[in-house]
């Protein structure tokens, strides 16, 4: 599936929820059910420093595609991280660099991307794109 | 004869009755006065804060983030509005009526602050941008004049970054040493350790009046006395204290006292530095420019007297006037009444929080203001804050700009609730329900 198709899939899933409770519960479940990074990578140098919650991220290039794994100590952030990894992982550096990530707005969680939240998620997206750029220029 | 004595008796009874009524009226009046001075009329007060009637995420706002900034009463909003609509002019400069009127108003605002802090002189009140600006001013200016290599500066483990970084930077520049008063696990300063730190090398002590995380009310009078015994000046960070308690700088004998307008129900961007005349006169200007001078030539500049020496550029005039209005407002309610009411809220909330499973309250000092920080076992403060926000409840989460303090307690962050006199027990009940719901969702 392309990045946009995955985004659409997530938008459809979130449309099932009528209120914020459902959305957040779904996000929390996603955060809980995804042990997405190996503990050995949860080190200081993999830490993306945000003001409130911590996010660790690891990227590897495999057959021309980037595989992201990540984690956070806050469960809601972890749910958001899981969404981002689901959307961006296993794609080429070019696709990742071009991704608009409009789904965040459409599922009504834009507040997590606002600069005031400083929850590490904005920094994480930036880091994902920087990694993509690094892998792109390597090749 | 008989009718005469009857009449006398009649008058006597009348007089007696009149006296009884007078006494009764007097008692009634004093009781009413007593009530007026000591009880918060919560409905009247809440109606004066327009923001308290708004909804957040579809729920009535419950604002428990007063430690970050307090809401503004309509009186303050009106004063700022009136300034821009009717009074705007630059101060200390013009011969025209508007400028003269607003200069008088601004200088009256300074006098309001002076009276509130009971400073000896109005020119000991310097208007700044806020507490951070005030502390930076002292660190730079006092530092320039008095700090040299090998000198020591004492702060405490519970300081806000704003009362750490200016001193840390000064120490790095001058080769001075930063000493830190440790705290116990209740969040109280270890006074014996403090006393041991004071030495002939100590040039200044800078501590907070009330901790923004722990709520601890520090024994600043004792801190000042101990330092003064060795002729060391003391700066008090009053940012968290001024909304809850009266600070009398002469009674405390504080050398510097700083606070922000916005935490005292006034506008943002205005704050106060109180400094003793003897220090302020000796200290060089911090920022220089318009308004700070007597005469300027390219060879030399003669600086103005206090307070203008420290007030470069056009000040935040609306801020100063708004702050004075806020001070009058708070004094009308009475800081004693405010402290008593907030203490009730503190007790009520602390008791309710103790019933929450897995909770740990950070800081249980004997002398504590209406600030409660806590962690819930296994849960992240960011998650709790996010769910509470969905319920219309504003709390602070994270490290609260006190990373060294977080390190002391071995935590990454905490949830903080902090009350003002417009908060209620009903709001605390709603908050507890919301917290229980958040815990359920996140566990």
| Domains in chain B: ranges and CATH | 42-68+334-442 (3.90.1150.10), 75-332 (3.40.640.10)
Once rounded to an integer, what is the mean pLDDT over residues B232-240? 98
Strand pairing category for A55-62 and A47-48: antiparallel
Chain B residues with beta carbon closer than 8 angstroms to that of A25 = 441
Place of tokens 């002019």: B89
Q: Please give the Cα distance from B414 to B212 (Å, whole number).
A: 12
Q: Please give the Cα distance from B256 to B267 (Å, whole number).
A: 22
Chain B residues with beta carbon closer than 8 angstroms to that of A28 = 441-442
Once rounded to an integer, what is the mean pLDDT over residues B65-89? 98
For chain A, 139 residues long, the average pLDDT of each consecutive 10-residue run is 94 88 89 75 79 82 92 87 91 95 82 58 85 89
Question: With an 8 Å Cβ cutoff, are A77 and B382 in contact?
Answer: yes
Once rounded to an integer, what is the mean pLDDT over residues B28-53? 75
Is omega for the bond preceding B307 within 30 degrees of 0, making it cis? yes
Strand pairing category for B414-418 and B371-376: antiparallel
In tens, the pLDDT along B305-364 reads 999 999 999 999 999 999 999 999 999 999 999 999 999 999 999 999 999 999 999 999
Q: In this model, does residue B29 exceed pLDDT 60? A: no
**Spans of all domains in chain A:** 3-138
Q: Say which CATH topology domain A3-138 has.
A: Sufe protein. Chain: A (3.90.1010)
User: Cα-flanking dihedrals φ and ψ of residue B254, to 5°?
Assistant: -70, 145
Q: State which residue of chain A sits closest to B440, comparing Cα positions.
A: A25
Once rounded to an integer, what is the mean pLDDT over residues B119-142? 98
Could you tell me if B75 and B325 are in contact, meaning their C-beta atoms sit under 8 angstroms apart?
Answer: yes
Residue A55 or residue B110, greater confidence:
B110
Position A102 scores a pLDDT of 87
Could you tell me if B333 and B157 are in contact, meaning their C-beta atoms sit under 8 angstroms apart?
Answer: no
Q: In this model, does residue B99 exceed pLDDT 70? A: yes
Q: How many CA atoms lie within 13 A of B358 on its CB side?
A: 11
- Distance of residue B414 Cα from the nearest chain A Cα, in angstroms: 10
Chain A residues with beta carbon closer than 8 angstroms to that of B441 = 21, 24-25, 28
Question: With an 8 Å Cβ cutoff, are B380 and A20 in contact?
Answer: no
Q: What is the ipTM of this complex?
A: 0.86
pLDDT tier, B36 (very low <50, low <70, confident <90, very high otherwise):
very low
Q: Please, what sign has the CA dihedral across residues A120, A121, A124, A126?
A: negative
Q: In this model, does residue B115 exceed pLDDT 60? A: yes
User: Cα-flanking dihedrals φ and ψ of residue B338, to 5°?
Assistant: -60, -50
Q: Please give the Cα distance from A81 to A124 (Å, whole number).
A: 8
Is A6 touching B (CB cutoff 8 A)?
Answer: no
In tens, the pLDDT along B408-439 reads 999 989 999 999 999 999 999 999 999 999 99
pLDDT tier, B35 (very low <50, low <70, confident <90, very high otherwise):
very low
Lowest mean pLDDT among A22-36, B158-172, B251-265: A22-36
Active site residue B171: no
Is A108 touching B (CB cutoff 8 A)?
Answer: no
Among A41, A15, A9, A37, smallest CA distance to A107 is for A15
DSSP codes of every residue in B43-93: HHHHHT-GGGG-EETTEE-EE-BTTT-----HHHHHHHHHIIIII---TTT
Q: Give the bridge partners for B272, in sequence order.
A: B127, B259
Position B31 scores a pLDDT of 46
User: Cα-flanking dihedrals φ and ψ of residue B95, to 5°?
Assistant: -90, -10
- Two tokens at B133? 């600006």
Q: In this model, does residue B1 exceed pLDDT 50? A: no
In tens, the pLDDT along B133-154 reads 999 999 999 999 999 999 999 9
Once rounded to an integer, what is the mean pLDDT over residues B47-53? 98
Question: With an 8 Å Cβ cutoff, are A28 and B441 in contact?
Answer: yes
Is A122 touching B (CB cutoff 8 A)?
Answer: no
Among B415, B421, B67, B337, smallest CA distance to B216 is for B67
Sequence-distant (≥ 6) Cβ neighbours of residue B240 within 8 angstroms: B67, B208, B209, B210, B211, B212, B263, B369, B371
Sequence-distant (≥ 6) Cβ neighbours of residue B271 within 8 angstroms: B127, B128, B129, B130, B131, B132, B133, B134, B258, B259, B260, B261
Q: What is the mean pLDDT of chain B?
A: 93
The closest CB to that of A52, out of B382, B387, B441, belongs to B382
H or E element: which one contains B302?
strand B301-303
Question: With an 8 Å Cβ cutoff, are A75 and B442 in contact?
Answer: yes
Position A35 scores a pLDDT of 59
Could you tell me if A73 and B380 are in contact, meaning their C-beta atoms sit under 8 angstroms apart?
Answer: yes
């Amino acid at each position: 599936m392309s990045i946009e198709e995955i985004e659409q899939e997530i938008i459809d899933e979130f449309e099932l929820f009528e209120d914020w409770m459902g959305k957040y519960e779904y996000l929390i479940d996603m955060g809980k059910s995804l042990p997405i990074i190996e503990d050995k990578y949860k080190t200081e140098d993999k830490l993306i420093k945000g003001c409130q919650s911590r996010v660790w991220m690891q990227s590897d290039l495999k057959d021309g595609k980037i595989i992201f794994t990540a984690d956070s100590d806050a469960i809601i952030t972890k749910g958001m991280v899981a969404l981002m990894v689901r959307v961006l992982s296993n794609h080429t550096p070019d696709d990742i660099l071009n991704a608009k990530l409009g789904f965040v707005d459409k599922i009504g969680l834009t507040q997590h991307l606002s600069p005031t939240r400083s929850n590490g998620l904005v920094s994480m997206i930036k880091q994902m794109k920087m990694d993509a750029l690094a892998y792109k220029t390597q090749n | 004869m008989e009718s005469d004595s009857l009449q006398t008796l009649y008058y006597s009874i009348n007089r007696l009755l009149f006296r009884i009524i007078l006494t009764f009226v007097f008692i009634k009046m004093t009781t009413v006065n007593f009530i007026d001075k000591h009880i918060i009329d919560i409905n009247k007060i809440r109606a004066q804060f327009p923001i308290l009637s708004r909804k957040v995420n579809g729920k009535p706002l419950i604002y428990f983030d007063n430690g970050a900034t307090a809401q503004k009463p309509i009186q303050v909003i009106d004063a700022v509005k009136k300034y821009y609509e009717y009074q705007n002019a630059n101060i200390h400069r013009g011969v025209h009526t508007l400028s003269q009127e607003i200069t008088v108003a601004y200088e009256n605002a300074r006098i309001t602050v002076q009276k509130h802090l009971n400073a000896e002189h109005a020119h000991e009140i310097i208007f700044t941008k806020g507490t951070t600006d005030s502390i930076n001013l002292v660190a730079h200016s006092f530092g320039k004049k008095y700090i040299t290599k090998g000198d020591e500066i004492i702060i405490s483990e519970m300081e806000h970054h704003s009362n750490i970084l200016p001193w840390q930077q000064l120490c790095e520049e001058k080769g001075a040493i930063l000493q830190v008063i440790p705290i116990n696990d209740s969040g109280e300063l270890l006074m014996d350790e403090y006393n041991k730190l004071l030495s002939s090398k100590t040039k200044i002590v800078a501590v907070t009046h009330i901790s923004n995380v722990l709520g601890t009310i520090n024994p600043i009078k004792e801190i000042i006395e101990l330092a003064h015994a060795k002729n060391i000046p003391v700066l008090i960070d009053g940012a968290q204290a001024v909304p809850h308690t009266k600070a009398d700088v002469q009674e405390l004998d504080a050398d510097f006292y700083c606070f922000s307008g916005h935490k005292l129900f006034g506008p943002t961007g205005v704050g106060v530095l109180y400094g003793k005349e003897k220090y302020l006169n000796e200290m060089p200007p911090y920022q220089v420019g318009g308004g700070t001078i007597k005469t300027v030539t390219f060879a030399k500049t003669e600086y103005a007297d206090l307070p203008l020496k420290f007030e470069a550029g056009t000040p935040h005039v609306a801020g100063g006037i708004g702050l004075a209005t806020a001070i009058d407002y708070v004094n009308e309610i009475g800081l004693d009444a405010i402290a008593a009411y907030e203490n009730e809220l503190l007790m009520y909330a602390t008791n309710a929080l103790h019933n929450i499973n897995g909770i740990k309250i950070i800081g249980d000092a004997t002398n504590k203001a209406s600030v409660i920080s806590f962690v819930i076992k296994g849960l992240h403060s960011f998650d709790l804050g996010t769910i509470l926000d969905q319920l219309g409840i504003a709390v602070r989460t994270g490290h609260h700009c006190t990373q060294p303090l977080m390190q002391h307690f071995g935590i990454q962050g905490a949830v903080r609730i902090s009350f003002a006199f417009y908060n209620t027990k009903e709001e605390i009940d709603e908050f507890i329900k919301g917290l229980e719901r958040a815990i359920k969702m996140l566990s």
